[in-house]
Structure 1
Amino acid sequence: MRRIGALLIGLFLVPAAALAQTSAVRVPEPGELSLMAMGLAVLGWAYHRRLRRGE
């Protein structure tokens, strides 16, 4: 589970870091926003499953 969590965090942080480096003023494209939203949703789902299991 930790490997999957680390992979998902990496998949979320890489586009976020790329966005931060390009320009703080630039508006993100809808594809970039949906990718980050999906990453957050999957991380939340995985965290919720861990809480329900009692880990």
Structure 2
Amino acid sequence: MDIPMHGKRVGIHLNRKRFKCQSCNKTFYELVSRKDEKRKMTKQLIEYIARES
């Protein structure tokens, strides 16, 4: 999710690469700098919510 535009919700679909570690066999996704790692929203939306609260 991202900040609202013209009073409507905005969703973002990401196509990220998935990798597998050859030594430990764990899988992980490519990092996205604008997305918060703990939530399914952008850092910009988190700041917007804090400002509006």
Q: TM-score range by the shorter chain?
A: 0.3 to 0.5
The alignment's TM-score, normalised by the length of structure 1, stands at 0.40
Q: Which has the larger radius of gyration?
A: 2
Higher-RCO chain (CA-CA 8 Å, sequence separation at least 6): 1
Higher strand share: 2
The alignment's TM-score, normalised by the length of structure 2, stands at 0.41
